[in-house]
Amino acid sequence: MEAKLIIEIAIMLFSGILLGRLAKQFKMPNVTGYLIAGLILGPSFLNVIAIDMVNDFVVIADVALGFIAFSIGSQFDLNYFRKVGIAPIVIATAEALLAVILVTLVLLLCGFDPKLSLMLGAIAAATAPAQTIMVIKQYDAKGPLTSMLMSVVAIDDAIALIAFGFAATIVNTMNSTVETSLLLSIMAPFYEVLISFILGAAAGILMKLFFRFFKKPSNQICIVIAFILLTYWVADLLHGSPLLACMALGGVLVNIYRDHIDTLLKTSDAFTPPIFMVFFVISGAGFQVSALPAIGLIGIIYVVVRVIGKMAGSWLGGRLTHQSKSICNYLGPTLMPQAGVALGLVVVAAKLVPLYAEQIQVVILSSTFIYSVIGPIAAKYALVKAGEITLPEAKPLTSPKIHS
Protein backbone atom coordinates (compact mmCIF):
# COMPACT_ATOMS: atom_id res chain seq x y z
CA MET A 1 0.00 0.00 0.00
CA GLU A 2 2.79 2.42 0.98
CA ALA A 3 4.75 1.70 -2.25
CA LYS A 4 1.57 2.16 -4.32
CA LEU A 5 0.88 5.48 -2.61
CA ILE A 6 4.43 6.72 -3.24
CA ILE A 7 4.40 5.82 -6.95
CA GLU A 8 0.96 7.40 -7.41
CA ILE A 9 2.16 10.68 -5.89
CA ALA A 10 5.17 10.56 -8.24
CA ILE A 11 2.88 9.92 -11.23
CA MET A 12 0.62 12.81 -10.18
CA LEU A 13 3.55 15.22 -9.96
CA PHE A 14 5.06 14.12 -13.30
CA SER A 15 1.70 14.24 -15.09
CA GLY A 16 0.90 17.61 -13.52
CA ILE A 17 4.21 19.08 -14.71
CA LEU A 18 3.80 17.69 -18.24
CA LEU A 19 0.14 18.62 -18.71
CA GLY A 20 0.76 22.00 -17.09
CA ARG A 21 3.47 22.69 -19.67
CA LEU A 22 1.20 21.42 -22.47
CA ALA A 23 -1.62 23.69 -21.28
CA LYS A 24 0.83 26.58 -21.35
CA GLN A 25 1.59 25.84 -25.01
CA PHE A 26 -2.13 26.30 -25.75
CA LYS A 27 -2.09 29.58 -23.75
CA MET A 28 -4.12 28.04 -20.92
CA PRO A 29 -3.26 28.35 -17.20
CA ASN A 30 -1.21 25.54 -15.62
CA VAL A 31 -4.04 24.63 -13.27
CA THR A 32 -6.20 23.59 -16.25
CA GLY A 33 -3.43 21.17 -17.23
CA TYR A 34 -3.32 19.75 -13.68
CA LEU A 35 -7.08 19.13 -13.74
CA ILE A 36 -6.93 17.47 -17.16
CA ALA A 37 -4.00 15.30 -16.00
CA GLY A 38 -6.13 14.08 -13.10
CA LEU A 39 -9.10 13.48 -15.37
CA ILE A 40 -6.98 11.31 -17.70
CA LEU A 41 -5.42 9.36 -14.81
CA GLY A 42 -8.72 8.97 -12.96
CA PRO A 43 -11.60 6.45 -13.17
CA SER A 44 -13.12 8.16 -16.22
CA PHE A 45 -10.16 7.14 -18.45
CA LEU A 46 -6.98 5.26 -17.44
CA ASN A 47 -8.03 4.49 -13.85
CA VAL A 48 -4.43 4.82 -12.64
CA ILE A 49 -5.89 6.81 -9.74
CA ALA A 50 -8.85 4.74 -8.56
CA ILE A 51 -11.86 6.32 -6.87
CA ASP A 52 -10.90 4.89 -3.45
CA MET A 53 -7.50 6.57 -3.82
CA VAL A 54 -9.25 9.87 -4.59
CA ASN A 55 -11.16 9.49 -1.33
CA ASP A 56 -7.99 8.58 0.58
CA PHE A 57 -6.34 11.82 -0.54
CA VAL A 58 -8.94 14.02 1.17
CA VAL A 59 -6.25 15.11 3.67
CA ILE A 60 -4.25 16.64 0.78
CA ALA A 61 -7.35 18.62 -0.19
CA ASP A 62 -7.73 19.89 3.38
CA VAL A 63 -4.08 20.97 3.58
CA ALA A 64 -4.21 22.68 0.16
CA LEU A 65 -7.46 24.50 0.94
CA GLY A 66 -6.08 25.61 4.30
CA PHE A 67 -3.05 27.21 2.61
CA ILE A 68 -5.20 28.76 -0.13
CA ALA A 69 -7.52 30.28 2.49
CA PHE A 70 -4.51 31.56 4.47
CA SER A 71 -3.11 33.14 1.29
CA ILE A 72 -6.42 34.90 0.59
CA GLY A 73 -6.66 36.13 4.18
CA SER A 74 -3.16 37.58 3.94
CA GLN A 75 -4.54 40.08 1.39
CA PHE A 76 -6.80 41.60 4.07
CA ASP A 77 -4.47 44.47 4.89
CA LEU A 78 -6.49 47.08 6.80
CA ASN A 79 -4.59 49.84 5.00
CA TYR A 80 -6.10 48.56 1.74
CA PHE A 81 -9.61 48.51 3.22
CA ARG A 82 -9.18 52.03 4.57
CA LYS A 83 -8.41 53.05 1.01
CA VAL A 84 -11.26 51.19 -0.78
CA GLY A 85 -13.85 51.32 2.03
CA ILE A 86 -16.74 48.86 1.99
CA ALA A 87 -16.53 48.23 -1.76
CA PRO A 88 -15.42 44.56 -1.49
CA ILE A 89 -18.27 43.80 0.94
CA VAL A 90 -20.86 45.47 -1.32
CA ILE A 91 -19.54 43.71 -4.45
CA ALA A 92 -19.30 40.28 -2.75
CA THR A 93 -22.84 40.64 -1.37
CA ALA A 94 -24.22 41.73 -4.76
CA GLU A 95 -22.58 38.95 -6.81
CA ALA A 96 -23.40 36.20 -4.28
CA LEU A 97 -27.03 37.18 -3.66
CA LEU A 98 -27.81 37.89 -7.31
CA ALA A 99 -26.57 34.40 -8.19
CA VAL A 100 -28.85 32.97 -5.46
CA ILE A 101 -31.89 34.97 -6.57
CA LEU A 102 -31.53 34.37 -10.32
CA VAL A 103 -30.86 30.61 -10.05
CA THR A 104 -33.79 30.17 -7.63
CA LEU A 105 -36.21 32.27 -9.69
CA VAL A 106 -35.34 30.70 -13.06
CA LEU A 107 -35.67 27.17 -11.64
CA LEU A 108 -39.05 28.08 -10.10
CA LEU A 109 -40.25 29.60 -13.38
CA CYS A 110 -39.24 26.40 -15.18
CA GLY A 111 -41.48 24.41 -12.85
CA PHE A 112 -38.95 22.77 -10.52
CA ASP A 113 -39.79 22.01 -6.88
CA PRO A 114 -39.39 25.10 -4.61
CA LYS A 115 -37.23 23.16 -2.11
CA LEU A 116 -34.88 21.95 -4.83
CA SER A 117 -34.76 25.43 -6.37
CA LEU A 118 -33.93 27.05 -3.02
CA MET A 119 -31.15 24.57 -2.24
CA LEU A 120 -29.47 24.90 -5.64
CA GLY A 121 -29.92 28.68 -5.56
CA ALA A 122 -28.24 28.90 -2.16
CA ILE A 123 -25.30 26.73 -3.26
CA ALA A 124 -24.84 29.02 -6.29
CA ALA A 125 -23.50 31.77 -4.01
CA ALA A 126 -20.29 29.90 -3.20
CA THR A 127 -17.12 30.62 -5.16
CA ALA A 128 -13.99 28.46 -5.06
CA PRO A 129 -10.90 30.66 -5.09
CA ALA A 130 -8.31 27.90 -5.63
CA GLN A 131 -8.14 27.90 -9.44
CA THR A 132 -8.22 31.68 -9.72
CA ILE A 133 -5.53 32.09 -7.05
CA MET A 134 -3.31 29.67 -8.99
CA VAL A 135 -3.75 31.81 -12.13
CA ILE A 136 -2.84 34.95 -10.16
CA LYS A 137 0.29 33.25 -8.76
CA GLN A 138 1.36 31.76 -12.09
CA TYR A 139 1.23 35.07 -13.96
CA ASP A 140 2.13 37.29 -10.99
CA ALA A 141 -1.01 39.35 -11.58
CA LYS A 142 -1.05 42.72 -9.83
CA GLY A 143 -3.41 45.67 -9.89
CA PRO A 144 -6.78 46.95 -8.67
CA LEU A 145 -8.78 44.04 -10.13
CA THR A 146 -6.49 41.43 -8.54
CA SER A 147 -6.64 43.17 -5.15
CA MET A 148 -10.42 43.47 -5.33
CA LEU A 149 -10.76 39.84 -6.43
CA MET A 150 -8.74 38.55 -3.47
CA SER A 151 -10.93 40.54 -1.09
CA VAL A 152 -14.22 39.57 -2.72
CA VAL A 153 -13.57 35.80 -2.78
CA ALA A 154 -12.64 35.89 0.91
CA ILE A 155 -15.90 37.64 1.84
CA ASP A 156 -17.89 35.52 -0.62
CA ASP A 157 -17.65 32.32 1.44
CA ALA A 158 -19.01 34.03 4.55
CA ILE A 159 -21.97 35.38 2.57
CA ALA A 160 -22.53 31.97 0.92
CA LEU A 161 -22.69 30.23 4.31
CA ILE A 162 -25.16 32.79 5.68
CA ALA A 163 -27.33 32.65 2.53
CA PHE A 164 -27.37 28.86 2.63
CA GLY A 165 -28.28 28.95 6.33
CA PHE A 166 -31.34 31.08 5.61
CA ALA A 167 -32.34 28.89 2.65
CA ALA A 168 -32.00 25.81 4.87
CA THR A 169 -34.22 27.48 7.48
CA ILE A 170 -36.92 28.12 4.87
CA VAL A 171 -36.73 24.53 3.62
CA ASN A 172 -36.92 23.26 7.22
CA THR A 173 -40.16 25.16 7.77
CA MET A 174 -41.55 23.74 4.50
CA ASN A 175 -40.52 20.19 5.40
CA SER A 176 -42.81 18.74 8.06
CA THR A 177 -40.56 15.71 8.59
CA VAL A 178 -37.73 17.88 9.94
CA GLU A 179 -38.35 19.16 13.45
CA THR A 180 -35.87 21.81 14.48
CA SER A 181 -35.86 25.13 16.30
CA LEU A 182 -36.42 28.03 13.92
CA LEU A 183 -34.19 30.28 16.05
CA LEU A 184 -31.35 27.73 16.08
CA SER A 185 -31.63 27.30 12.30
CA ILE A 186 -31.38 31.07 11.78
CA MET A 187 -28.46 31.43 14.19
CA ALA A 188 -26.45 28.44 12.88
CA PRO A 189 -24.76 30.20 9.93
CA PHE A 190 -23.93 33.25 12.08
CA TYR A 191 -22.36 30.95 14.69
CA GLU A 192 -20.32 29.23 11.96
CA VAL A 193 -18.93 32.54 10.71
CA LEU A 194 -18.34 34.01 14.20
CA ILE A 195 -16.53 30.99 15.68
CA SER A 196 -14.35 30.77 12.57
CA PHE A 197 -13.22 34.39 12.86
CA ILE A 198 -12.58 34.07 16.61
CA LEU A 199 -10.45 30.95 16.09
CA GLY A 200 -8.49 32.50 13.22
CA ALA A 201 -7.84 35.72 15.16
CA ALA A 202 -6.68 33.83 18.26
CA ALA A 203 -4.38 31.62 16.17
CA GLY A 204 -2.90 34.69 14.43
CA ILE A 205 -2.06 36.39 17.75
CA LEU A 206 -0.57 33.17 19.14
CA MET A 207 1.48 32.63 15.98
CA LYS A 208 3.06 36.08 16.33
CA LEU A 209 4.16 35.15 19.87
CA PHE A 210 5.87 32.03 18.51
CA PHE A 211 7.70 34.12 15.91
CA ARG A 212 9.39 36.12 18.69
CA PHE A 213 11.32 33.01 19.73
CA PHE A 214 11.78 31.34 16.33
CA LYS A 215 13.19 33.70 13.71
CA LYS A 216 14.82 31.34 11.19
CA PRO A 217 12.75 30.88 7.98
CA SER A 218 13.00 27.07 8.37
CA ASN A 219 11.45 27.29 11.84
CA GLN A 220 8.84 29.83 10.80
CA ILE A 221 7.53 27.74 7.91
CA CYS A 222 7.05 24.85 10.36
CA ILE A 223 5.09 27.20 12.65
CA VAL A 224 2.94 28.41 9.73
CA ILE A 225 2.14 24.84 8.63
CA ALA A 226 1.33 23.77 12.19
CA PHE A 227 -0.97 26.74 12.85
CA ILE A 228 -2.82 26.42 9.52
CA LEU A 229 -3.45 22.71 10.11
CA LEU A 230 -4.41 23.25 13.76
CA THR A 231 -6.78 26.11 12.90
CA TYR A 232 -8.39 24.04 10.14
CA TRP A 233 -8.89 21.08 12.47
CA VAL A 234 -10.25 23.04 15.45
CA ALA A 235 -12.69 24.96 13.23
CA ASP A 236 -14.00 21.68 11.85
CA LEU A 237 -14.22 20.21 15.36
CA LEU A 238 -16.27 23.18 16.61
CA HIS A 239 -18.56 23.13 13.52
CA GLY A 240 -17.13 26.35 12.15
CA SER A 241 -15.82 26.90 8.63
CA PRO A 242 -12.18 25.76 8.31
CA LEU A 243 -11.74 27.98 5.24
CA LEU A 244 -13.01 31.11 6.99
CA ALA A 245 -10.88 30.32 10.05
CA CYS A 246 -7.70 30.04 7.95
CA MET A 247 -8.64 33.24 6.09
CA ALA A 248 -9.03 35.00 9.45
CA LEU A 249 -5.64 33.63 10.52
CA GLY A 250 -3.97 35.15 7.45
CA GLY A 251 -5.94 38.39 7.81
CA VAL A 252 -4.99 38.95 11.45
CA LEU A 253 -1.35 37.98 10.92
CA VAL A 254 -0.84 40.39 7.99
CA ASN A 255 -2.02 43.26 10.17
CA ILE A 256 -0.07 42.47 13.37
CA TYR A 257 3.17 41.18 11.83
CA ARG A 258 3.67 43.78 9.10
CA ASP A 259 7.47 44.07 9.23
CA HIS A 260 8.13 40.45 8.29
CA ILE A 261 4.95 39.32 6.54
CA ASP A 262 6.35 39.52 2.99
CA THR A 263 9.29 37.23 3.83
CA LEU A 264 6.96 34.84 5.64
CA LEU A 265 4.54 34.63 2.71
CA LYS A 266 7.38 34.03 0.24
CA THR A 267 8.64 31.18 2.41
CA SER A 268 5.11 29.75 2.54
CA ASP A 269 4.69 30.07 -1.24
CA ALA A 270 7.92 28.13 -1.79
CA PHE A 271 6.50 25.19 0.20
CA THR A 272 3.06 24.86 -1.38
CA PRO A 273 3.47 24.19 -5.18
CA PRO A 274 3.69 20.36 -4.96
CA ILE A 275 0.74 20.25 -2.55
CA PHE A 276 -1.37 22.39 -4.88
CA MET A 277 -0.36 20.31 -7.89
CA VAL A 278 -1.36 17.01 -6.22
CA PHE A 279 -4.58 18.64 -4.98
CA PHE A 280 -5.65 19.72 -8.46
CA VAL A 281 -4.64 16.42 -10.08
CA ILE A 282 -6.72 14.59 -7.44
CA SER A 283 -9.59 17.03 -8.03
CA GLY A 284 -9.47 16.22 -11.74
CA ALA A 285 -9.41 12.48 -11.00
CA GLY A 286 -12.53 12.83 -8.87
CA PHE A 287 -14.65 14.16 -11.74
CA GLN A 288 -16.92 11.57 -13.31
CA VAL A 289 -17.36 12.27 -17.03
CA SER A 290 -20.18 9.73 -17.07
CA ALA A 291 -22.25 12.10 -14.89
CA LEU A 292 -22.24 14.89 -17.48
CA PRO A 293 -25.02 13.47 -19.73
CA ALA A 294 -27.29 13.25 -16.68
CA ILE A 295 -27.01 16.95 -15.90
CA GLY A 296 -30.22 17.68 -17.82
CA LEU A 297 -32.12 20.96 -18.12
CA ILE A 298 -31.75 21.80 -14.44
CA GLY A 299 -27.97 21.49 -14.67
CA ILE A 300 -27.76 23.65 -17.79
CA ILE A 301 -29.89 26.32 -16.10
CA TYR A 302 -27.69 26.18 -12.99
CA VAL A 303 -24.39 26.45 -14.89
CA VAL A 304 -25.50 29.31 -17.15
CA VAL A 305 -27.68 31.37 -14.79
CA ARG A 306 -25.17 31.20 -11.90
CA VAL A 307 -22.49 32.73 -14.15
CA ILE A 308 -24.94 35.43 -15.30
CA GLY A 309 -25.76 36.20 -11.66
CA LYS A 310 -22.09 36.42 -10.66
CA MET A 311 -21.21 38.68 -13.59
CA ALA A 312 -24.26 40.92 -13.26
CA GLY A 313 -23.87 41.15 -9.47
CA SER A 314 -20.16 42.06 -9.61
CA TRP A 315 -20.91 44.67 -12.30
CA LEU A 316 -23.76 46.13 -10.22
CA GLY A 317 -21.69 46.14 -7.03
CA GLY A 318 -18.83 47.80 -8.89
CA ARG A 319 -21.08 50.52 -10.27
CA LEU A 320 -22.70 51.15 -6.87
CA THR A 321 -19.27 51.63 -5.28
CA HIS A 322 -17.91 53.68 -8.21
CA GLN A 323 -15.16 51.22 -9.21
CA SER A 324 -13.09 51.42 -12.39
CA LYS A 325 -14.40 50.02 -15.67
CA SER A 326 -11.94 47.10 -15.51
CA ILE A 327 -13.27 45.96 -12.12
CA CYS A 328 -16.91 46.34 -13.19
CA ASN A 329 -16.40 44.51 -16.49
CA TYR A 330 -13.86 41.82 -15.63
CA LEU A 331 -14.40 40.81 -12.00
CA GLY A 332 -17.38 38.59 -12.89
CA PRO A 333 -15.50 36.03 -15.06
CA THR A 334 -12.92 35.48 -12.31
CA LEU A 335 -15.67 34.32 -9.90
CA MET A 336 -16.77 31.35 -11.99
CA PRO A 337 -15.05 28.35 -10.26
CA GLN A 338 -16.94 26.42 -7.61
CA ALA A 339 -15.74 23.49 -5.48
CA GLY A 340 -14.90 23.12 -1.78
CA VAL A 341 -17.68 25.01 0.05
CA ALA A 342 -20.28 24.10 -2.59
CA LEU A 343 -19.47 20.38 -2.33
CA GLY A 344 -19.74 20.58 1.44
CA LEU A 345 -23.15 22.26 1.16
CA VAL A 346 -24.33 19.45 -1.14
CA VAL A 347 -24.19 17.04 1.82
CA VAL A 348 -26.39 19.32 3.94
CA ALA A 349 -28.81 19.99 1.06
CA ALA A 350 -29.16 16.25 0.40
CA LYS A 351 -30.27 15.71 4.02
CA LEU A 352 -32.83 18.52 3.82
CA VAL A 353 -34.34 17.35 0.52
CA PRO A 354 -33.47 13.61 0.34
CA LEU A 355 -35.88 13.12 -2.56
CA TYR A 356 -33.58 15.24 -4.74
CA ALA A 357 -30.24 14.24 -3.17
CA GLU A 358 -28.95 12.44 -6.26
CA GLN A 359 -30.08 15.23 -8.60
CA ILE A 360 -28.37 17.91 -6.49
CA GLN A 361 -25.15 15.87 -6.36
CA VAL A 362 -25.08 15.30 -10.14
CA VAL A 363 -25.77 18.98 -10.90
CA ILE A 364 -23.10 20.33 -8.53
CA LEU A 365 -20.45 17.73 -9.43
CA SER A 366 -20.99 18.27 -13.15
CA SER A 367 -21.02 22.05 -12.85
CA THR A 368 -17.89 21.92 -10.70
CA PHE A 369 -16.11 20.02 -13.48
CA ILE A 370 -17.29 22.52 -16.13
CA TYR A 371 -16.34 25.54 -14.02
CA SER A 372 -12.96 24.05 -13.09
CA VAL A 373 -11.94 23.66 -16.74
CA ILE A 374 -13.42 26.91 -18.05
CA GLY A 375 -12.91 29.07 -14.93
CA PRO A 376 -9.09 29.44 -14.99
CA ILE A 377 -9.20 30.29 -18.70
CA ALA A 378 -11.88 32.92 -18.07
CA ALA A 379 -9.89 34.32 -15.12
CA LYS A 380 -6.73 34.60 -17.22
CA TYR A 381 -8.66 36.30 -20.04
CA ALA A 382 -10.22 38.82 -17.62
CA LEU A 383 -6.90 39.65 -15.95
CA VAL A 384 -5.18 40.09 -19.33
CA LYS A 385 -8.00 42.36 -20.57
CA ALA A 386 -7.74 44.39 -17.36
CA GLY A 387 -4.00 44.84 -17.98
CA GLU A 388 -2.93 43.01 -14.82
CA ILE A 389 -1.21 40.14 -16.63
CA THR A 390 1.32 40.89 -19.35
CA LEU A 391 2.01 37.85 -21.51
CA PRO A 392 5.14 37.45 -23.64
CA GLU A 393 2.99 37.44 -26.76
CA ALA A 394 0.83 40.37 -25.64
CA LYS A 395 1.64 44.05 -25.27
CA PRO A 396 1.00 45.68 -21.90
CA LEU A 397 -2.56 46.97 -21.85
CA THR A 398 -2.31 49.61 -19.14
CA SER A 399 0.34 49.86 -16.45
CA PRO A 400 4.01 49.72 -17.41
CA LYS A 401 4.79 48.28 -13.97
CA ILE A 402 3.18 44.89 -14.67
CA HIS A 403 5.61 41.98 -14.89
CA SER A 404 5.28 38.92 -17.11
Lowest mean pLDDT among 194-203, 319-328, 338-347: 338-347
At a CB cut-off of 8 Å and minimum separation 6, what does 353 contact? Answer: 113, 115, 116, 119, 171, 175, 360
Percentage of the chain beyond pLDDT 90 is 30
At a CB cut-off of 8 Å and minimum separation 6, what does 270 contact? Answer: none
The domain ranges of the chain are 52-270+287-367
Report the 10 Å Cβ neighbour count for 269.
12
Q: Given this model, what pLDDT does residue 71 score? A: 82
58 phi and psi, to 5 degrees? -60, -30
Q: Given this model, what pLDDT does residue 96 score? A: 92
**Is domain 52-270+287-367 given the CATH code 3.30.460.10 in the classification?**
no
Q: Given this model, what pLDDT does residue 347 score? A: 62
Average pLDDT for 153-176: 75
pLDDT mean across residues, the chain: 83
Q: Which parts of 51-113 fold into alpha helices (H)?
A: 51-56, 58-73, 78-84, 87-109
Whether the CB-CB separation of 396 and 142 falls below 8 Å is answered with no
The model carries a pTM of: 0.73
In which band, very low, low, confident or very high, does the pLDDT at 178 lie, cut at 50, 70 and 90? very low
Q: Which parts of 180-260 fold into alpha helices (H)?
A: 182-213, 217-237, 242-256
Average pLDDT for 200-219: 90
Q: Given this model, what pLDDT does residue 307 score? A: 95
Q: How far is CA 219 from CA 70, 140, 209, 214, 264, in A?
A: 18, 27, 13, 6, 11
**pLDDT tens for each residue of 95-135:** 999 999 999 999 999 999 898 899 899 889 888 777 888 88
Average pLDDT for 351-373: 79
